[in-house]
Amino acid sequence: MSYFLYFVQEVKSLQMVFRLIFCGLITVLTVQCGKGPAEPVWTTFSNADGLANNMVYDIAFDAAGKKWFACGINRISHYDNRTWTSYTVPNDLVCGFIFGIEIDENGNKWIGTMGSGAVKFDGVSWTGYNPSNGFPGNDVLSIARDSRGNLWFGTRGAVVRYDGDEWKAFTDADGLLSDTITAIAEDSRGNMWFGSVTGNLARFDGTSWTNFTRPAGPVKHIINDITPDHEGNVWIATVFGALLYDGSGFSFFRESDGLVSNSVYAIAVGPDNNIWFGTTDGVTVFDGITWTSYTETDGLAENQVTEIAIEPGGTIWFATAQSGVTRLSFE
């Protein structure tokens, strides 16, 4: 074969390869373009599925991505993404409602109760903490874990920090305007934020406390939840609407702005920085421009949403007051 004929044959071979690659790309693009936007899939779990009961007040995810639920009186439930397991807290440790659940770096489940302080569950044994053994209070209104591994408890009378060895209580004597703490969160800078039953808001940088003056009016009411977003803003849930603190001042959002209800109990931020609000009349999501609301008619188990938790992949869990939990996934 002459060099020229060999060259021509090689060129033809390359042309065939390019055609095959081009056709392959067209096929992939056609398939991708044929896919529509992700469709929302709503799934509700109740006591009929294995949940301890239908009164769910808090949700936590463990390191393996399994879900834990605080279920009303004396019960918690665990969902491993296939099956449900429920546990009853010993009667001698709990005499009231379980309002909060958090998981420490060792996988222990910490439960906040009304009337019995804090309870730790290591998967086998239960340990109660109250004024008799170092925990300063009987009523735990909120729980959070910070990025350093500390646990924070909001009580009637103090903010309590537990570093794994010691309990440290902070009160109005340390600089808080109010020491009955109903909401706790950590921002991206490591500051801890605290909301109170009187509507006061405080920030703790590890050394000093800063209290904030909020807009006057009905917003000065119990703070139900605090959630920082991915841009450094802090969102605050109240029964008169939602507040946004942007580092310099406050903005106030109500039904007239797009919320499905002014009574906001929970706020969560998705990986896309969309803000989700749980209210007495459904949920609302805000993408920075548009407000969209969902209710029972869309797939929620119940309109009264008590807590929202979002997995890293974007799946959203809604706890309800009387109808179990609803999972919203996108397929």
Tell me: the pLDDT tens digits for 3-52? 333 333 443 444 444 444 444 444 443 444 444 557 889 999 999 999 99
Query: pLDDT for 268-284, tens place per residue?
Result: 999 999 999 999 999 99
Q: Which pLDDT score is estimated for 134? A: 86
Contact by Cβ (8 Å): 145, 153: no
Looking at every residue in the chain, the average pLDDT score rounds to: 88
Query: In terms of domains, do 100 and 225 share one?
Result: yes
Which region, left, alpha or beta, applies to residue 264 given φ > 0 means left and ψ of -120 to 50 means alpha?
A: beta
pLDDT at 175: 87
pLDDT confidence of residue 13: 47
Same domain, 88 and 232: yes
**Are 189 and 166 within one domain?**
yes
Together in a domain, 163 and 97: yes
Residue 95 has pLDDT above 80, yes or no: no
- What pLDDT, in 10s, does the model give residues 48-79? 999 999 999 999 999 999 999 999 888 999 99
> What is the rounded distance in angstroms from the CA atom of residue 144 to the CA atom of residue 103?
9
Mean pLDDT (whole number) for 231-247:
94
Same domain for 136 and 30: no
As for how many domains the chain has, the answer is 2
* pLDDT on residue 220: 62
Claim to verify: residue 116 and residue 1 sit in the same structural domain: no
Give yes or no for residue 324 having a pLDDT over 80. Answer: yes
* Confidence band, pLDDT 50/70/90 cuts, at residue 214: low
Q: For residue 73, what is the domain's CATH number?
A: 2.130.10.10
Instruction: Give just the sign of the alpha carbon dihedral 164, 180, 231, 270.
Output: positive
Per-residue pLDDT at 37 = 59
What pLDDT band is residue 216 in, cutting at 50, 70 and 90? low
Burial of residue 37 (CB within 10 Å: 0-12, 13-18, 19+) is exposed
Kindly state the average pLDDT of the residues 217-246.
89
Q: The domain containing residue 22 runs over which residues? A: 1-36
Structure tokens at 47: 């006591």
Dihedral angle computed from the Cα positions of residues 286, 147, 128 and 48, in that order, rounded to the nearest 10 degrees: 40
- Are 69 and 301 within 8 A, CB to CB? no
Tokens representing 147 are 């990025």
Whether 56 and 194 share a structural domain: yes
The answer on 286 and 183 residing in a single domain is yes
For residues 181 and 75, state if they share a domain.
Answer: yes
Element spanning 19, H or E: helix 3-34
pLDDT value at residue 94:
80
Q: Which residues of 158-194 are buried (b: 16+ CB within 10 A; e: fewer)?
A: bbbbbeeeebebbeeeeebbbbbbbbbbbbeeebbbb
Read off the pTM: 0.87
Whose structure tokens read 């903010």?
A: 159
pLDDT: is 220 or 1 the higher one? 220
If asked whether residues 4 and 99 sit together in one domain, one would say no
178-202: average pLDDT = 93
Same domain, 24 and 128: no
Q: Taking the CB of residue 81, how many other CB atoms lie within 10 A of it?
A: 8
Q: What pLDDT sits at residue 217?
A: 55
Higher pLDDT, 96 or 10: 96
Indicate the SS3 state at residue 104: coil
pLDDT higher than 70, residue 153 = yes
Are 65 and 180 found together in one domain?
Answer: yes
Average pLDDT (195-224) is 82
